[in-house]
Amino acid sequence: MTFEDSQMLLFDQPAAPARRLATDELLAGIEAFDEFGARTVRDELTVAGHGTVPVFINEFWTAGQRQASRLHEISYRACFKPQLPRFFIERLTGPGDVVYDPFSGRGTTAIEAALLGRIPWAADINPLSRMLAEPRLHPVDLAGVVRRIEAVDFQRQVDCPEELLVFYHPETLQEICALRAFLHERSASPEWDPVDGWIRMVATNRLTGHSPGFFSVYTLPPNQATSVTAQKRINAKRNQTPPRRDVPELIRRKARKLMKERTAAESQNLRAAAARARFVTGSADATPELPDASVDLVVTSPPFLNAVDYRLDNWLRGWFCGIETDQLPIWQISSLEKWEAAMERVFIELRRLLKPGGLVAFEVGEVRHGEIRLEEHVAGAAHRAGLTPLAVLINAQEFTKTSNCWGVSNQLRGTNTNRISLLRKSGQG
């Protein structure tokens, strides 16, 4: 039996097409794409030293598509929709192929790859990323989560930062701190298991938000923890004091939602993927723990210059998980020149990791109100690193509604677009 045959046995075959498209076939398919009612518009991008590459604009994935798995519903700043990695994974890989995301965030690519029967590899400079992604590859059952929560002594007296009382009712804060201490102790012991990982992932996600489904009083969305000072202002303005929340009950509820509608085939794929998954906590441009020529497809999205402050957004999650977020060398690069140089280093590393003929789908969003077209800088950096730019896909939401009556460039101005550079490592290695 070949390696590929054995991989096919491990993973359940998804209903979606599982064969790898040749790149010519892929580009022809993208150009002919009209699944959501609009025809693809074609443009061109000039890449210095390389020539021109086609730019394809359409609504390639949309809210109208098959719903994504509930398992993705963990918030994270600047995460992409699961439909984005799915679009490329389904077309460009087969079961058992390695799909890698070097800027993994909440792990959208890793989880989608696993659900589709591929092997997920992921890296992120922030250890929080692994804590949010890895547990979801283990399809634990709700009864196990409930039993473990029942084992926590939520009344235990432990040290608690008083300043957090701007977010939490005193008894809620007490419960959060008791759970935090319980998880820290277990993580340092051989007892730690996937159920603990699930509880930490879910609790981290419930820390702050703007509905009674979260532990906190009304605050910013869960992925953008505000400072203590700013929260005092929010409380004064809204004339609010933190209400009592039931920490164990909110964890049970969110865990149940994340597990809802998970099929037996998906559970089987997750288990198979978990056994072969790799998570690296480190910088995307230096991952010596990952072997050469081993990745079939990269689907990723780097920090867009300094558009998001990942340290500030994650300080409270970091506190809960025991991560010193302000010490992390997270890239937040304001100079375009330095950002491009950093991306070039990433592409050199990806070129090492990719199999000959392997592909990269590299997503950048809009920054500085669309004044900077990051995809142009991506293509230049990739070319210098020895990857071949094949095309740029621009996924424009609302495209189908407006493309017929507006010029494309006007239409794009007011929309939220994903810009994906498609790159290939040449067949020679």
Ligand X SMILES: C[S@@+](CC[C@H](N)C(=O)[O-])C[C@H]1O[C@@H](n2cnc3c(N)ncnc32)[C@H](O)[C@@H]1O
Residues lying near ligand X in the complex (CB under 6 A) are found at: 76, 78-80, 102-103, 105-106, 108, 123-126, 129, 283-284, 301-303, 310, 330-331
In sequence order, what DSSP letters do the residues of 317-366 get, joined into one string?
HHHHHT--GGGS-------HHHHHHHHHHHHHHHHHHEEEEEEEEEEE--
Query: To the nearest whole angstrom, how small is the minimum distance from the Cβ of residue 249 to ligand X?
Result: 27
Residue 298 dihedral angles phi and psi, to the nearest 5°: -110, 130
Nearer to ligand X (CB atom), residue 123 or residue 140: 123
Q: Residue 244's CB: how many other CB atoms inside 10 A?
A: 10
Nearer to ligand X (CB atom), residue 122 or residue 199: 122
Nearer to ligand X (CB atom), residue 107 or residue 380: 107
CA distances from 271 to 117, 135, 145, 190, 233 (A): 10, 11, 17, 21, 46
Query: To the nearest whole angstrom, how small is the minimum distance from the Cβ of residue 170 to ligand X?
Result: 32
Q: Residue 269's CB: how many other CB atoms inside 10 A?
A: 25
Query: To the nearest whole angstrom, how small is the minimum distance from the Cβ of residue 307 to ligand X?
Result: 9
Nearer to ligand X (CB atom), residue 54 or residue 282: 282
Question: Which residues, including other chains, have CB under 8 Å from residue 100's CB and lie 6 or more apart?
Answer: 109, 120, 121, 122, 123, 290, 295, 297, 298, 300, 353
Q: Would the CA dihedral through 251, 113, 17, 39 be positive or negative?
A: positive
Residue 299 dihedral angles phi and psi, to the nearest 5°: -125, 120
Residue 390 dihedral angles phi and psi, to the nearest 5°: -100, -40
Q: Which residue's Cβ lies closest to ligand X?
A: 105
Nearer to ligand X (CB atom), residue 125 or residue 173: 125
Nearer to ligand X (CB atom), residue 68 or residue 146: 68
Nearer to ligand X (CB atom), residue 53 or residue 111: 111
Q: What amino acid is encoded at 93 in this protein? A: T
Q: Residue 62's CB: how many other CB atoms inside 10 A?
A: 17
Distance CA 373, CA 155 (A): 53
Nearer to ligand X (CB atom), residue 58 or residue 126: 126
Query: To the nearest whole angstrom, how small is the minimum distance from the Cβ of residue 44 to ligand X?
Result: 27
Smallest Cα–Cα separation from 31: which of 52, 66, 60?
Answer: 60
Query: To the nearest whole angstrom, how small is the minimum distance from the Cβ of residue 368 to ligand X?
Result: 16
Look-up of token digits 């690296």: 280
Query: To the nearest whole angstrom, how small is the minimum distance from the Cβ of residue 300 to ligand X?
Result: 7
Query: To the nearest whole angstrom, how small is the minimum distance from the Cβ of residue 384 to ligand X?
Result: 19
Return the structure tokens found at 192. 């730690």
Query: To the nearest whole angstrom, how small is the minimum distance from the Cβ of residue 197 to ligand X?
Result: 18
